[in-house]
Amino acid sequence: MTCSSRSNALLESYGAEICVDYKKPEDEQIAELISKTEGKLYRVFDATSNGINFAKKLLAKIEGGPKYFTSTDDWTVLGSGFENVTVDRISLGPVGNPNSVKLNNQISSYIPLIVKLIEEGKVRVSEYEVAGRGFEDVGKAWQYQKSGKAGSKKVLVQL
């Protein structure tokens, strides 16, 4: 599992056997994952929708198989590199789409419950930093996150 170094202990307490700091350079992450799994890492799940290239590089270094890759990114053309990998793309579909009124209303109905859980201390909000305002700042915030200047904080854009 890749996560921030700050989250390692928590995720290990939930049962993660291996945690690698995603803020390290990709080559270091891949080497560490291969080392810690003794090269027997055959399943990769990308929950962030931006891990396709990382998964391609990682799975290319794994010998044997079979290999599996699942991603919440169902729009990017995979290109070469996944020929010997079983790929499953998860379509999040209309989540957040302004035309999906019914679904967005259902999701919105959970907000009071989430707020209550946060207020009761049953769910904690990660530390974050607002790195921009409006859609025009999304790219700038993404570059800021990738630079590591935010440390372990989540980087947000206020829309």
Q: Where are the domains of the chain?
A: 2-89, 94-124, 126-159
3-state secondary structure 12-77: HHCCCCCCEECCCCHHHHHHHHHHHCCCCCCEEEECCCCCHHHHHHHHHHCCCCCEEEEECCCCCC
Tell me the mean pLDDT in the region 21-48.
90
Tell me the mean pLDDT in the region 8-17.
79
Residue 86 — very low, low, confident or very high, per pLDDT cuts 50/70/90? very high
Q: Report the 10 Å Cβ neighbour count for 21.
A: 16
- The DSSP symbol for 1 reads -
pLDDT(96) > 70: no
Residue type, 71: S
pLDDT(49) > 80: no
Distances in whole angstroms, Cα of residue 96 to Cα of each of 71, 105, 106 = 18, 10, 11
